[in-house]
Homo-oligomer: A and B are copies of this chain.
Amino acid sequence: MGPRLRGRSTLRTILTPMHTLIRFAFLAMCFGIVSSSLAATPPGVSYDSVAIRLLESGLRNCEAFQMLKELTSHAPHRLSGSPDAARAVDLTKKMMEQRGLNKVHLEAIMVPHWVRGPVEEATITRSTSKKGTKLTICALGGSVATPKRGIEAEVIEVKSFEQLRTLGESAKNKIIFFNRPFDPTKFNTFETYGGAVDQRSRGAVEAARAGGVAALVRSMTHVIDDVPHTGAMGYVDTVKKVPAAAISTLDADMLSKLLLQEKNIRVRIQLTCKTLPDTPSANVVGEITGSEKPDEVIVVGGHLDCWDKGQGAHDDGGGCMQAIEVIQLMRKLGVKPKRTIRAVMFMNEENGNRGGKAYATAPERAGEKHIAAIESDRGAFAPRGISVQADSSVLAKVQAWRSLFERMYADRIFPGYSGVDVSAIVERGAAGFGLDVETQRYFDYHHSDNDTIDKVNPRELELGAIVEALLCYLISEEGL
A-side interface residues toward B, CB under 8 Å? 1-7, 9-11, 14-15, 18, 21-22, 24-26, 28-33, 35-36, 55-57, 59-60, 62, 112, 142, 184-188, 190-191, 194, 197, 200-202, 205, 222, 231-239, 303, 315-316, 348-354, 377-379, 382, 384, 387, 389, 407-409, 412, 414-417, 420, 423, 438, 440-442, 444, 446, 457, 459-460, 463
Contact = CB atoms under 8 A, between A and B. Distances in A.
Contacts of A26: 188, 190-191, 194, 417
B59 A7 contact: no
B31 A440 contact: no
A10 B235 CA distance: 7
Q: How many copies of this kind of chain does the complex include?
A: 2
Nearest to A185: B56
A59 B202 contact: no
Contacts of A378: 1
A459 B236 CA distance: 37
Contact of A238 (B11, B186, B233, B237): B11
Given A28-B415, A459-B440, A6 B59 contact: no
A303 B6 CA distance: 15
A27 B286 CA distance: 33
Contacts of A200: 3
A190 B29 contact: yes
A9 B144 CA distance: 12
Contacts of A2: 231-232, 303, 349-351, 353, 420
15 contacts: A1-B446, A2-B350, A3-B231, A5-B352, A6-B353, A7-B142, A11-B205, A14-B235, A15-B234, A28-B387, A29-B417, A32-B387, A32-B415, A59-B185, A440-B463
B423 A21 contact: yes
A29 B385 CA distance: 12
A245 to B, nearest CB: 16
A11 B237 contact: yes
A463 B188 CA distance: 12
A222 B417 contact: no
A7 B446 contact: no
A321 to B, nearest CB: 16
B234 A6 contact: yes
Contacts of A382: 438, 440
Contacts of A3: 197, 200-201, 231-233, 350
A416 B21 CA distance: 11
Contact of A412 (B25, B30, B32, B423): B32
B222 A459 contact: yes
The 10 closest A-B pairs by CB, nearest first: A32-B414, A7-B352, A25-B417, A11-B236, A56-B185, A14-B234, A3-B232, A2-B350, A5-B232, A28-B416
A225 to B, nearest CB: 12
Given A36-B414, A412-B409, A5 B234 contact: yes
Given A184-B59, A236-B14, A384-B409, A315 B1 contact: yes
Given A28-B417, A382-B440, A18 B407 contact: no
Contacts of A316: 1
A208 to B, nearest CB: 12
A302 to B, nearest CB: 10
Given A11-B238, A21-B420, A31-B414, 15 more contacts: A5-B142, A5-B352, A11-B236, A11-B237, A14-B235, A18-B201, A22-B194, A25-B190, A28-B416, A28-B417, A32-B416, A56-B185, A184-B459, A187-B408, A444-B457
Contact of A184 (B60, B205, B233, B408): B60
